[in-house]
Structure 1
């Protein structure tokens, strides 16, 4: 009888334990299910501890790898960047929804401690947020759109630099050479001319130091760099030389601003620095709407660093692609000969009468967009896209390469076909909505018009004078390129044969 009582008590005890375990398990599962229902996150690849999804993002081909991932996970993905959650957009319609329809929620930049360590964000044309950024951007855009007349016009300055670039090519006498440094010199000089009213000889030591800094900056901080994940590494010996170059460039730009303050004349606006000094002198407007003179250098830093790398790489891609598609180069040269000839320099109005040239320039930007990703935005409030919850502060990346190579918008997207941008009669160019090499929304690239002018005037100047070829002894170039901070071509050599 006692044994039965013990058995009954043991049975009751075990039953109670089972009920408790079942109840707790039920509550946990219910909580997880209801929580998932309440917070619907975008799909994404599984991640590893510490590194997240970085190991899956493709390194130097991150633009293509993440574009291909959208076939499995869709046009909006949840990714983990070394423990930091981010959202990646690869679909045109979703990008437009975020950056155009919901621009007030996705116009802020996502900034990091690393950026604060380097140069801070106040005064930045690319990374600052708030009303100060809006005013600074408007002032700089006004300067770029309406800058100067006569000899100081942007068109004349770019054409002057284009002639210098052509002379540099001519000095090679048809021998093989790498055009990278010369193209970077020319593009950087345009930025120097409009920013602080001065151009440099290509072998000027000060100018060389500026360009060496840009090269080092882009190389060492390319891709998911270690210092971006662990910002305090910036203060270690690993980055000592880059810190020194960064300090030298900041000091140089600050000194240029001080020199402009000493020689400023409201009746003789020479460059972008003078435009900001003039804006500060004008009556009216709040202090927030005027960029402090001590921060003018910060916007110049952005123009110089970003404008030099992106535009020079676009031109280099143009040169390389024309060597690989000689029939395209021949058609461009014939159109240039018919409309402009080989003597007078090209002008911006000529572009309207050069539809094939214009279409080819657009195809260069579509085929190999140098800005495959826009700098990351951040959700300014808790919001949603396509039913997925995006928490305030979440990084939002957009893969422009994915849009520009999407079969949904382009036939044979991996083929180089300038005619895709021509009207049926071939007399004008037509750009579809999916042509967004400069981004979209309030944060669209501030240098878009300048970059388009440089690409047209530089390449037209070169094609008037030269036929561009790859040396016979060199291997066929790799057209995939590699993604650092921008999409760059691998090193290559050309022969510039005088026409």
Structure 2
């Protein structure tokens, strides 16, 4: 009896010990991942260097009225790639050719989208244009339309007669004002706007003088239309507080959203008239059995009826794509020429050298044509130097990280906005000798691409988001600057010295001279050419 009792006791103890061991093993299995996790935590993300953000506002306190200059100064401390906070959102700034290449080529697929900012919503038909449309099927289709239907080489060639006619009108108008001070920007803007309106709309739809009978189809004054397009550029480059601190959005502290909505209403009224006028003419042409596709509006309207498009074009999308052409084709070319002339007036030797080339290649009995520019390397060098020192877009339109990504050894989180500071890149002492000096000679004898493959020169961006209108822009800028130098003597107004020409900037999506340049222009070619 005792034997069995002892045996039972021993067996019970063994089972208890086994149960204890099993429970301990189970507990260990449960706790092991936690132990391992504690001992091997996830590595902390390695973000680019940058200034410590303040609560709520982030680093907005460091951004002055000329943002690209503020960020350039910060890059001197934190380097060619840095991260800031605008409100609660991360913003990465690339300030060198190497870093621009990382975002625009190496990791282009990750950063090909745009942030959803108020400007895209309120002034671009809810992100319906090429500038603000997010990366996706609609944007890919819109880009294809621009490259194949709107701005392809054959189409641009077919519009050359328009550019020639408007250039002659421009030169004739300047000839009539010879000896009088003129604000160059006003005449350049009117000229480039006339070109793009005729190419895109077949008609200007604006009147130039105060008389209403100058253009029967005019519905707006040229200065008013220019003012609306200038506003669009301002808002598209503005730092709107509500974009970065969403819970303050309803207050519209800067009044920008209210002004954007007013601007959108005015522009929409203009586009409505243009589309209705084209549809009316199209209906009449069908009755008369005439061709109905004559300009960009006709092309877009025809495509909106195409059932084979992957994404059917809405009326607002047609307006958004039309707006892209108007704003991109007018302001940018005029601004480039104004900056170039401002710079060369400060250095008369550049004007003399350019005129010598023009006299030698073109002669004194004709104007410069588009086909001539390949024989005018010094004129082209002036334009490239102007685009280097005064890039049209001091920031490329912002890029947006669609996924987490590692760039140059740094972790860039999904949702980060990326700004490529082309103003800094053009002043990079590693890439440019004497970067603050205006020296066209630095480009002579060199093959330098301006269309996106050379990341030290990005006047039109690069990668998927490169400006589709670069070819048209170069044609207009080259012939305009060349003919102004060829056909006129450019003089400063009485009492003004070359060193007094202001190089201060007025910030926007494109950056203008803060003080419009006033000059006197005297014709220098035989009278019959004017």
Q: TM-score scaled to structure 2, two decimals?
A: 0.79
Determine if contact 2:201/2:295 at 8 Å carries over to the other structure: yes
Determine if contact 2:240/2:256 at 8 Å carries over to the other structure: no
Distance between the aligned counterparts of 1:482 and 1:145, measured in 2?
33
Alpha-carbon distance, 1:299 to partner: 1.3
Determine if contact 2:119/2:260 at 8 Å carries over to the other structure: no
Q: 1:41 corresponds to which residue?
A: 47
Distance between the aligned counterparts of 1:131 and 1:148, measured in 2?
24
For the structure 1 residues 41 and 238, does the alpha-carbon distance in structure 2 shift closer, same or farther, using more than 3 Å as the test?
closer
RMSD: 2.9
SS at match of 1:109: coil
- The counterpart of 2:466, out of the listed 444, 453, 458, is 444
Q: 1:131 corresponds to which residue?
A: 137
How many pairs align? 462
- The counterpart of 2:239, out of the listed 220, 224, 228, is 224
For the structure 1 residues 92 and 145, does the alpha-carbon distance in structure 2 shift closer, same or farther, using more than 3 Å as the test?
same
For the structure 1 residues 161 and 272, does the alpha-carbon distance in structure 2 shift closer, same or farther, using more than 3 Å as the test?
same
Determine if contact 2:394/2:509 at 8 Å carries over to the other structure: no
SS at match of 1:158: helix
Alpha-carbon distance, 1:221 to partner: 6.6
SS at match of 1:312: helix
Query: Do structure 1's residue 420 and structure 2's residue 442 form an aligned pair?
Result: yes
Q: Report the more deviating stretch, 140-149 or 293-302.
A: 140-149
Alpha-carbon distance, 1:93 to partner: 1.4
- The counterpart of 2:511, out of the listed 445, 469, 487, is 487
- The counterpart of 1:243, out of the listed 241, 261, 265, is 261
Distance between the aligned counterparts of 1:84 and 1:171, measured in 2?
54
Distance between the aligned counterparts of 1:108 and 1:241, measured in 2?
26
Alignment of 1:149-160 (within 5 A): 153-160=158-165
Q: 1:257 corresponds to which residue?
A: 275
Alpha-carbon distance, 1:47 to partner: 2.3
Alpha-carbon distance, 1:248 to partner: 1.9
Alpha-carbon distance, 1:365 to partner: 0.8
Q: Report the more deviating stretch, 264-273 or 290-299.
A: 264-273
Determine if contact 1:369/1:401 at 8 Å carries over to the other structure: yes
Query: Do structure 1's residue 96 and structure 2's residue 101 form an aligned pair?
Result: yes
Q: 1:210 corresponds to which residue?
A: 225
Alpha-carbon distance, 1:480 to partner: 3.6
Q: Report the more deviating stretch, 276-285 or 137-146.
A: 276-285
For the structure 1 residues 237 and 106, does the alpha-carbon distance in structure 2 shift closer, same or farther, using more than 3 Å as the test?
closer
For the structure 1 residues 336 and 132, does the alpha-carbon distance in structure 2 shift closer, same or farther, using more than 3 Å as the test?
same
- The counterpart of 1:279, out of the listed 303, 307, 319, is 303
Determine if contact 1:179/1:494 at 8 Å carries over to the other structure: yes
For the structure 1 residues 348 and 391, does the alpha-carbon distance in structure 2 shift closer, same or farther, using more than 3 Å as the test?
same
Determine if contact 1:42/1:77 at 8 Å carries over to the other structure: yes
- What 5-or-longer segments of structure 1 have no aligned partner? 1-29
Query: Do structure 1's residue 188 and structure 2's residue 203 form an aligned pair?
Result: no
Distance between the aligned counterparts of 1:474 and 1:154, measured in 2?
40
Alpha-carbon distance, 1:115 to partner: 3.0
Distance between the aligned counterparts of 2:508 and 2:316, measured in 1?
31
SS at match of 2:459: coil
For the structure 1 residues 433 and 42, does the alpha-carbon distance in structure 2 shift closer, same or farther, using more than 3 Å as the test?
closer
Q: 1:497 corresponds to which residue?
A: 522
Distance between the aligned counterparts of 1:219 and 1:102, measured in 2?
29
For the structure 1 residues 233 and 303, does the alpha-carbon distance in structure 2 shift closer, same or farther, using more than 3 Å as the test?
farther
SS at match of 1:104: coil
Determine if contact 1:174/1:498 at 8 Å carries over to the other structure: no
Alpha-carbon distance, 1:417 to partner: 0.9
SS at match of 2:129: coil
Q: 1:121 corresponds to which residue?
A: 126
Alignment of 1:64-103 (within 5 A): 64-103=69-108
Determine if contact 1:41/1:389 at 8 Å carries over to the other structure: yes
Alignment of 1:53-68 (within 5 A): 53-60=59-66, 62-68=67-73
Query: Do structure 1's residue 391 and structure 2's residue 409 form an aligned pair?
Result: no
Q: 2:339 corresponds to which residue?
A: 317
Q: TM-score scaled to structure 1, two decimals?
A: 0.84
- The counterpart of 2:293, out of the listed 269, 272, 286, is 269
Determine if contact 2:337/2:481 at 8 Å carries over to the other structure: yes
Q: 2:23 corresponds to which residue?
A: none
Distance between the aligned counterparts of 1:235 and 1:251, measured in 2?
27
Distance between the aligned counterparts of 2:317 and 2:507, measured in 1?
31
Alpha-carbon distance, 1:242 to partner: 5.5
Determine if contact 2:101/2:455 at 8 Å carries over to the other structure: no
SS at match of 1:494: strand
Alpha-carbon distance, 1:231 to partner: 4.3
Q: 1:15 corresponds to which residue?
A: none
Distance between the aligned counterparts of 1:403 and 1:488, measured in 2?
18
Q: 2:17 corresponds to which residue?
A: none
For the structure 1 residues 51 and 343, does the alpha-carbon distance in structure 2 shift closer, same or farther, using more than 3 Å as the test?
farther
- The counterpart of 2:152, out of the listed 136, 145, 155, is 145
Distance between the aligned counterparts of 2:129 and 2:331, measured in 1?
17
Q: 1:454 corresponds to which residue?
A: 476
Structure number with greater Rg is 2
Q: Deviations over 1:7-28 (max 9, x none)?
A: xxxxxxxxxxxxxxxxxxxxxx
Alpha-carbon distance, 1:111 to partner: 1.4
Determine if contact 1:136/1:291 at 8 Å carries over to the other structure: no
Alpha-carbon distance, 1:234 to partner: 5.8
Determine if contact 1:233/1:239 at 8 Å carries over to the other structure: no
Q: Report the more deviating stretch, 458-467 or 48-57.
A: 48-57
Determine if contact 1:223/1:485 at 8 Å carries over to the other structure: yes
